[in-house]
Structure 1
Amino acid sequence: MRIHLHLPGLRPRRRGIATVNAEVRDGIVPAGDQLVQSADHGPAAEHSRNYRTVALIIACAMFMEHLDATVLATALPTMARDFGVRAPEMSVALTSYLLALAVFIPASGTMADRFGAKRVFRSAIGLFVLGSLACGLAPTLPAMVAARLLQGIGGAMMMPVGRLVLLRSVAKRDMVSAMSWLIMPALIGPILGPPVGGFIVTYLDWRWIFWLNLPIGVAGFVLTGRFIADIREAGAHPFDGTGFLLSGMSLGCLLFGFEMASRSGEAMLALGLVGTGLAAGVLYLVHARRSEHPILDISLMRVPTFRLSVIGGSLTRITQGAQPFLLPLMMQIGFGLSAAQSGMVTVATAIGSFGMKGLARRILKRFGFRSSLVVMGVLATASYAICGLFRPGWHLSWIFAVLVVSGFLMSFQFTAYNTIAYDEIDKERMSAATSFYSTFQQLMLSLGICTGAAALHLSMLAGGRANPAFADFSAAFVAVTLISLAAVFTNLRFDPEAGGEMSGRR
């Protein structure tokens, strides 16, 4: 209870930002009111008690995005028949979405600073919902491509800006718990996508793939306005148009090149795209060194915890990107399971992710980020390597148990990486850091699919097989897990006390 004394002759004390923060925390100022970031505190509500609500709202939006990104592949043959085109031509519906992501993710930080993270996040949800509606109503393939571009613009803003909203709304001491909620969509969406898509295509119209996003998106739009404060930095930087074009060209070509490399007979096109992307990337690096406020701030890599998180997380995400591609394929081709049946098996990874949620903070508080990432990195790599040993003679319960453990360990790693990355980032650079981190996250997940597919094809060529055998899947799993194992050497370079405030050790 507050007691206000009004003494004659004394003017009321000015309401500083700390007072405003306290009033937001106590529910006096509505969450929808605009706040400016304080000079000495990151979040506007430093000890907010509703961080779980904020995290869940953002997680639901991201789950919608990740599910949609993977569920579509199952429906492409059916969609091709309805549009009157060949099935391979439908790949443009996937690549158009990737193009929008590549171009607009780097711009997300600048947009959030200029217009406010809450406003941009709500607009991103709105664009994604409108794009989903347009996809469901699309009568032709060109209309579908245009709708997917609109959807991709919304998706490009949702991922990094949603993380920025969380970073600005949650105290450091609650960051591990909040990130454990936020990381689950990235792990669960790609796993649930194929079986959900198979169910919809089998029993419903393929258009329901997109219409399912509507209630989730509308709920997220409303809840964002109700529970999330509009916190923004004062003095937004000018937009880097040249960097926007160069980064978009570089990332777009690299993503398309990785995607083409996973297909048969597209090696030369993939090589040309990757080469063009690398050349544009070099030009961007030259530009970024001369620009005062580049759209992707390379100087962030000088921050030790951020740099190590980007490198270690990138190596680990290659394995995570390959797993949703390799595992369902092995279950369907090697074990003879249907898409729905393989989905029921691979859902074990999602169960493991949920189990991690309540334990991540306790583990990090007890052992710290460095030790936890080293040990969990080795165990996670070993658990994913075991997946390459699955055979029809294995009892289903053993396969399920291995996948539960794999989901737990990989979810823990991403929770730790996504948290420790921002430990030493100043609040003025938080938006730049989230767009930079999200860009590499998307790039590495796409590279993971390419790496898994390339390893599978190389093993098939070495064995002279037209269809993949169990030995080929084993070779592919070993290849991608050796890459994630290399992250252990990066994890060893973390300071033993890094992230002490976030983990609760300090």
Structure 2
Amino acid sequence: MNKDSAQTALLWIVAAGFFMQSLDTTIVNTALPSIANSLHVAPLAMQPIIIAYTLTMAMLTPASGWLADRFGTRRVYFVAILIFVLGSICCASAHTLGQLVIARVLQGVGGSMLLPIGRLAVLRSVSGEQYVSALAFISVAGQLGPIAGPTLGGWFVQDMTWHWIFLINVPIGAVGLYAVRRFLPTHGETQAPPFDFVGCGLLSLCMIAFSLSIEAPFSTHRAAWAAGLFVLAVVSALAYIPYARRRRNPLFKLALFSEPNFSVGLIGNLVCRIGSSAVPFLVPLLLQLQLGYSPLHSGLMMLPAALAGTVAKRWIAPLIRRYGYDTFLLVNTLIVGSSIVAFALITRGTPLAIEIAILAVFGAANSMQFAAMNSVTLKDLSHEDAGSGNSLFSMVQMLAIGLGVSIGGGLVNLFSAQWGSAALGFRFSFACVGVITLVSAWIFRQLDVAPAQPKVRAPATHSAGR
């Protein structure tokens, strides 16, 4: 096989892995009511299967680069696909919610390595002038996942069984495993610096405790338990500071936070993404449980958001060039938050055109929001700090997805019980998570940026443009 053919095969391998992973993050949402019915639990009790997956990815993403350096990219990428496929089989075989959560953790272990290591393999095999084009090719796979996921999930649930939303990964993964062994270049082990297991443990404990502290009041109504978990999260985060100062090569250098836009962007991303992450979880539940849509119909209803998001990506750079990051993020955040609040107005009598319009506006604004937030957070980091900052940014993204699902689902349960109406529960919940997103507009006002040529780039996360 010549060099060009080998590079083409590599790009298809990485794109397939990225598609499999991005598909899995969206295909589940449409199937939640059917899975809940099969496992004999309430649909809103299905939050842990999403939170377990995203938290596992958040915790393990920083280790992916070290694993590739230590054991070789081809070997680790092969193992990542294998673990992801085994996790998918275990998900399809689950008979209880607990079993499904454990299987999703296993999926998350494999998924946390697919994109970062795939990008690393491309970086080591593709020349500099071709690297941007190569990443653009891979990102298309990440965009196809959210477009196909909800509809495919609805079709599987309606015409077959929910198990197929996980079993679809088996044939894709099998082809990927063969292709990795056959075509992926061998990048041998290197003298990787020691991995900061202690630092990773402290930050992982912080994320887990913080997530549980947010979810505890909704699920158990134990204020003391939630407060204790929150204190544990704060203590873990504070303990990392003196530890990182003493360690020669910490997981994340504290100097990252000396770049003001990185700190503001990180906080703004976390707050903004809580509302944006609640929407993909809550909307399919609203459509199926309150409006009576079939799984396939609810999946098709998510297409306007995905397609509008894909189209809107081309508007980002010219808008930022004209208005600057601060003005763009202020206005666009207001649009995103307002569109989330608008979901509270959808009822059985709402015309279909209005529902589609709200979904399309949300999808377009949200896509541009993600790309702009990604860029403004990372653009001023030095070359030395870019990799570390990118990794921390990825962890925050995953944490925000879990928090969005916890808060969104918890609010629906809380308001439904308080007002005795699930319909009101959904309405008030959309209003609340929309307001949370609107708060991030004030955070982005603290950015120290001027109108300039934007370098809109997506971080090495599980989904491009997110």
Q: TM-score range by the shorter chain?
A: 0.7 to 0.9
Conserved? CA contact 2:77–2:117, under 8 Å: yes
Q: Alpha carbons of 1:75 and 1:237: their partners in 2 closer, same or farther (altered >3 Å)?
A: farther
CA distance in 2, matches of 1:268, 1:70: 32
User: Aligned residue for 1:399?
Assistant: 355
Aligned mate of 1:216, from 160, 172, 175: 172
Q: Which amino acid aligns with 2:291?
A: F
Describe the SS at the equivalent of 1:107. Answer: helix
- For residue 436 of structure 1, report the CA deviation from its aligned partner: 1.0
CA distance in 1, matches of 2:49, 2:362: 31
Q: Which amino acid aligns with 2:452?
A: E
1:346 aligns with 2:302: yes
Higher helix share: 2
1:64 aligns with 2:16: no
Conserved? CA contact 2:336–2:362, under 8 Å: yes
- For residue 410 of structure 1, report the CA deviation from its aligned partner: 0.8
- For residue 66 of structure 1, report the CA deviation from its aligned partner: 1.0
Q: Alpha carbons of 1:437 and 1:112: their partners in 2 closer, same or farther (altered >3 Å)?
A: farther
User: Aligned residue for 1:493?
Assistant: 448
1:245 aligns with 2:204: no
Describe the SS at the equivalent of 1:497. Answer: coil
Conserved? CA contact 2:71–2:189, under 8 Å: no
Q: Which amino acid aligns with 2:23?
A: M
RMSD (CA atoms): 4.3
1:153 aligns with 2:109: yes
Scaled by the length of structure 1, what TM-score is found?
A: 0.73
Matches within 5 A, 1:18-57: 27=3, 30-31=6-7, 56-57=15-16
Conserved? CA contact 2:275–2:436, under 8 Å: yes
Q: Which amino acid aligns with 1:252?
A: I
Q: Alpha carbons of 1:258 and 1:286: their partners in 2 closer, same or farther (altered >3 Å)?
A: same
Describe the SS at the equivalent of 1:480. Answer: helix
Q: Alpha carbons of 1:179 and 1:158: their partners in 2 closer, same or farther (altered >3 Å)?
A: closer
User: Aligned residue for 1:74?
Assistant: 33
Q: Which amino acid aligns with 1:74?
A: P
Conserved? CA contact 1:65–1:155, under 8 Å: no
- For residue 398 of structure 1, report the CA deviation from its aligned partner: 2.1
In the TM superposition, what whole-angstrom CA distance separates every residue of 1:441-492 from its partner, at most 9, and x where no partner exists?
011122222333455456557x7434342752553354233234334414x4
Q: Which amino acid aligns with 2:35?
A: L
Q: Which amino acid aligns with 2:212?
A: F
Matches within 5 A, 1:180-199: 181=140, 184=143, 188=147, 192-193=149-150, 196-199=152-155
Q: Alpha carbons of 1:501 and 1:483: their partners in 2 closer, same or farther (altered >3 Å)?
A: closer
Conserved? CA contact 1:101–1:156, under 8 Å: yes
Q: Which amino acid aligns with 1:388?
A: A
Describe the SS at the equivalent of 2:205. Answer: helix
CA distance in 1, matches of 2:97, 2:350: 43
User: Aligned residue for 2:163?
Assistant: 207
Conserved? CA contact 1:109–1:432, under 8 Å: no
CA distance in 2, matches of 1:501, 1:231: 30
Aligned mate of 1:320, from 273, 276, 281: 276
CA distance in 1, matches of 2:80, 2:267: 28
Query: Quick check: 340-349 or 98-107, which moved more?
Result: 98-107
CA distance in 2, matches of 1:363, 1:308: 21
Q: Alpha carbons of 1:180 and 1:282: their partners in 2 closer, same or farther (altered >3 Å)?
A: same
CA distance in 1, matches of 2:15, 2:301: 26
Structure 1 runs not aligned, ≥5 long: 1-25, 32-48
Q: Alpha carbons of 1:232 and 1:250: their partners in 2 closer, same or farther (altered >3 Å)?
A: farther
1:449 aligns with 2:405: yes
Conserved? CA contact 1:61–1:158, under 8 Å: no
1:310 aligns with 2:310: no
Structure 2 runs not aligned, ≥5 long: 459-466
Q: Which amino acid aligns with 2:448?
A: R
Q: Alpha carbons of 1:454 and 1:29: their partners in 2 closer, same or farther (altered >3 Å)?
A: closer
Identity %: 28
User: Aligned residue for 1:388?
Assistant: 344
Scaled by the length of structure 2, what TM-score is found?
A: 0.78
CA distance in 2, matches of 1:97, 1:138: 15
